[in-house]
Structure 1
Amino acid sequence: MQTTRSSRQSRARPPFTPRTSRSRAWLRVLCLALAAFIFNTTEFVPVGLLSDIADSFAMTPAQVGLIITVYAWGVALMSLPLMLLSSQMERRNLLMGTFALFIASHVLTAFAWNFWVLMCSRIGVALAHAVFWSITASLAIRVGPKGKSEQSLSLLTTGTVLAMVLGLPLGRLIGQYLGWRMTFGIIGITALAIMLLLWRLLPRLPSNHSSSLSSVPALFRRPALVSIYGITVVVVTAHYTAYSYIEPFMQRVASAGENFTTMLLLLFGAAGILGSLVFSFLGNRHPTALLMGVIFCLMICLLLLLPLAPHNLAIALLCVIWSMAMTALALSLQVKVLGMAQDATDVAMALFSGIFNLGIGAGALLGNQVSLFFTIDDIGLVGALIALLGLALCIWAFRRYRDVFRLINLG
């Protein structure tokens, strides 16, 4: 009887081999990359749907733009606390709970009957976002093939890049033809499918983190690191002052059609890949010059946004350079943070994520105020002035802490 049972089990379960184990590991990482794509898409997709959402609630795009600020500030405020609160939780169950909140919030978004319900649903998504990004990088390393941590992280990063390249313009395209509610509904359905795959593929993953709030004051006692955080919030604010309202800007100021605006968002996202290539070539060789150079490029692009708006070819080229500069800038700042906080990378990166989102929210809010109290034409000029402040802060920091930056181990 025992023999029969054993033979049945052997027939029911395929033989375990290193190849099947490795394939399953890559499949887990691929599913996490798809999740990264979904989580980043839902953060950025309102940029391409502001006018449609505004029309459905009889509001202006500037008023609706507050959902970008609330989302980003929700992530900024909750990234570190949620990371610390969940540091001892079993990772698979934590990830499933995060997906459940994410999906439920998208259902609420799709059926939002007024703007305040929409706002509450976006806060729910922001909380899920904060938890997801506090655990995903370490999960990709743990569940990926052994000895392939760099490749696992690279695949995860590809998911985030594709959110800009494909997610945002595809979300806008769906919203353009089927309505903005359908965009968020499809995101929720896709998230459900990915959640079920991860539930099947992931083993139980006990937490191996021991993050502590006590490391935060130590990080803020490093003035060079604090200066990088300061540069981050300023330049991200500059970028999102204009970028948050690029869709209504193109339609109302440049008189661009919906199809051209969608194409421009697709081009903007795709150019980010070129920006990452620029960083890979110059990031280690000329890190200081690269960081200053891309901030300068960002400032010039924002300054030329209004003058070049009526010229389709010129504005398309400007968006390519703008996107390349912003991608290389984000990567440069992230590497600087990692180099100066090698003893507390989890907390340092949670702070970086929070500060980055603080800049997103501040930029969206500032663009909102410029659009309401001046005109939407001025978002590029205001962004350029803030970028100039960021460039000045960068020059000061690299002169003041020259020796610290020289000693950073970027390897």
Structure 2
Amino acid sequence: MTETVTHIDDEPPGAPTPPRGTRGRRTALIAAAVVVVAAVAVVGALGLGGGDDGDPTAPPRSGSVVSVSRATLTERASLEGQLGYGTELPLPVKAQGTVTWLPETGATVERGDELLRVDDRPVVLMYGSLPMYRSLGLTAQEDEPGSAGGAPDRRQQNDSGGVTAGKSPNPSGSETPGSAATEGNPAPSQVPRELRGMDVMQFETNLAALGYTGFTVDEKFTNLTAAAVKRWQKSLGVAQTGAVDVGDVIYSASKVRIGQPGARLGSTVGENTLTYTGTTRKVTVNASAAEAAWAVRNAPVTVTLPNGDPVQGRVAAIGKQATAPEGGGEGGGQGRPATIPVTVAIEDQGAVGRLESGPVTVEYVGKEVKDVLTVPVSALVALAEGGHGLETADGRFVAVKTGLFADGNVEVSGTAVREGMKVRIPE
């Protein structure tokens, strides 16, 4: 009987038949090799072995690679604020009588302009820091006896307004009948005394700025000053006395914007007859008293207007008195924290346009760190042992200490972190 052999493997006919069990062992060896390759790939991905140089045959990792960079991080915060001209203050009106004219709310009043009229007499704005606390003009004083025989030193005012020594018409020194004071001249027994003071210089400075000159700007109110005052009074349409009453002038640091009136026409002048503000628009914010370290004079901020346009500003003033917290109380009740008012000046008034008031947002620098190592926040990974780490480009994990978070980046530090190191941002 003839035996027929069928070849199942791809072996050529006539090849010797392998011993029993050889084919099974070869299959097992191939499977084991596959398992080893997979295990090496896993170890490399976990960063559990190898030095700085990765295995060039390892499969590529997913996610982008970035460099650790050195930069300045700035943390910004924002507060809601209010655009306007500031708090309205009462004008120190010292004129007494009935209010006969008031300017419109929002009007701008400059040096030499009328602020209001009392008993139909103008009250004029001038610039200065001293308040008007007394009337200004030439004052009269009694002659003192002369040194020779006690005879009085008779003086009279000459035509030019100066004071000259004069002789008594009667050699005996007695007063001649008919020698009483004439209009514009002091009484024979009196001489004009020049008023002195810094308030005189302040008024003379304003008078000269308005174009009324002919005198020396100093601390003395002379006859020449009185002559210039008369010309000024003539332009105002009032009696030309050469003297300025305490209620005729109000001083301010610069031009003012008229606020809401506190009196009506025909009412008696009071403390709040007229209010004013400055003429430049500013922003007021209520900053948390506990977090107001950013509010220092001249600190730069960005103001976002209601239309979304940003304008630059600077801190101009910081309040010194905090408001009481709203809600809560002793014992840790929840409520709004105490706040202090912060005033922000806007450098370019033209950038605000015609807007006079409205809600705005003030952005300021809260914290800032300079020359630190930074990475994108998305590069941080949570470590199994706790804390944060970074994954290097070759698959290793290094622990880092985080600092300031700002603008999508984070400050990092650690012995294994250096500038320029490549780290992976996981997907």
Same-fold status (TM-score > 0.5):
no
Q: Give the TM-score range, shorter chain.
A: under 0.3
Which is greater in Rg? 2
Which structure dedicates a bigger proportion of its chain to helix? 1
